[in-house]
Structure 1
Amino acid sequence: MIDDPLTEGPDRNSKLLGHAQGIYALASQEEAGLLMAMNLAFVSGDFNDSSLAVLGRNTVLSNVREMPVVGGSGKFCFAMGYVLATAAELDAAAGGNYNEGGC
């Protein structure tokens, strides 16, 4: 389960725009490939009370991961497209914790 801050930049102290909320599960026996199901729920600015629904494969060790947007609500009603995720920070000493950057 995830409920991670969605911020303006990769710094944890950046302005909070919303939350990445959902689930992920290891879905590959050969690589670190996750099945991601999450909502990007916005809590401020022009997109307050709107969300994007993302469902797709996240190969966490790839430089860039592409995951489809399968819908949305509020200002994102009927949204289609994709998000691009990159690792902004990787802390191998902490068990591989990382921060996603750039969506």
Structure 2
Amino acid sequence: MARILPTSAFHYLLVISSLLSSFSMISVSAEDHEFVKSMDPKLLGLKKEKLTHLRLYWHDVVDGPNPSVVTIVRPLSNSSQTRFGLIRMIDNALTQGPEPSSKLVGRSQGFYGSASQGAVSLLMIDNFAFIQGKYNGSAITIMGRNSIFNKVRELSVVGGSGVFRFARGYALATTLSFNVSKSDDAIVEYNIYVLHY
């Protein structure tokens, strides 16, 4: 059977509890909370930085029964040569070879938008998420300007996750095929040079 405390005992417990809470708040607020502090990379298990080169093939499928691209925003004017304002979300295959049937090594997930009124130039924000081998579950984040009619374009590696934590570097994009007159489908070779631990 539960024992009910007299009112005075209950108040006594409330006062003690309140005092203990106040004391702990005072001791916490007296601690020194730094916003930024230097750290030894070894504390995170980081050893020697290495340079990795990855060559992948990016398949942008806009048309057909299984598109990997969804148009989110259409350009305001169909007469615009640059399609300024177009935004597309992507979940493109990344393969080991240029053929669509080549081994799938990851997915390119992100978006691109036509960001220039004077030339065909895309703003790309793209996560290359890997699903094979030692990079399975890791990703590289690429961002930058992609003037798609230039033979080779350079974009920045701005970060990564998993094996690619603290990643930085650059990616070179070269278009192998682009069906500009009909579907906008494209295959692009990416050579990525990434520094990571």
Corresponding residue of 1:64: 152
Structure 1: runs of 5+ lacking an equivalent: none
Query: In structure 2, which of residues 127, 138, 147 is the aligned counterpart of residue 50 of structure 1?
Result: 138
Distance 2:113 2:146 in 1: 10
Q: RMSD between aligned alpha carbons?
A: 1.0
Q: If each structure's strand is expressed as a fraction of its own residues, which one has the higher value?
A: 1
TM-score (norm 1): 0.95
3-state SS of paired residue (1:53): strand
Deviation string, structure 1 residues 24-68 (Cα, Å, up to 9, x no partner): 111001111000001000011120000000110000000001000
Aligned length: 103
Name 1:79's counterpart in structure 2.
Answer: 167
Q: Deviations over 1:50-90 (max 9, x none)?
A: 00001100000000010000000011110100000001112
Q: Give every structure 1 segment of 4 or more consecutive aligned residues whose post-TM-superposition deviation is greater than 3 Å.
A: none
Q: Distance in 2 between matches of 1:18 and 1:63?
A: 24
SS at match of 1:11: coil
Report the equivalent of 1:25.
Answer: 113
Per the alignment, residue 85 of structure 2 pairs with none
TM-score (norm 2): 0.51
Gaps of 5+ in 2: 1-88, 192-197
Shift of 1:91: 1.6
Distance 1:54 1:102, change over 3 A: closer
Report the AA paired with residue 21 of structure 1.
Q
- Of 157, 166, 177, 1:89 maps to 177
Aligned equivalents of 2:184, 2:107: Cα separation in 1: 21
CA gap of 1:70–1:64, structure 2 versus 1, over 3 A, is same
Which residue identity does 1:70 align to in structure 2? V
Q: Distance in 2 between matches of 1:102 and 1:53?
A: 13
Q: Considering only CA atoms, is the larger Rg found in Structure 1 or Structure 2?
A: 2
Matched AA of 2:180: A
| Letter in structure 1 aligned against 2:109 | Q
Q: How much identity, in percent, do the aligned residues show?
A: 45
1:100 aligns with 2:191: no
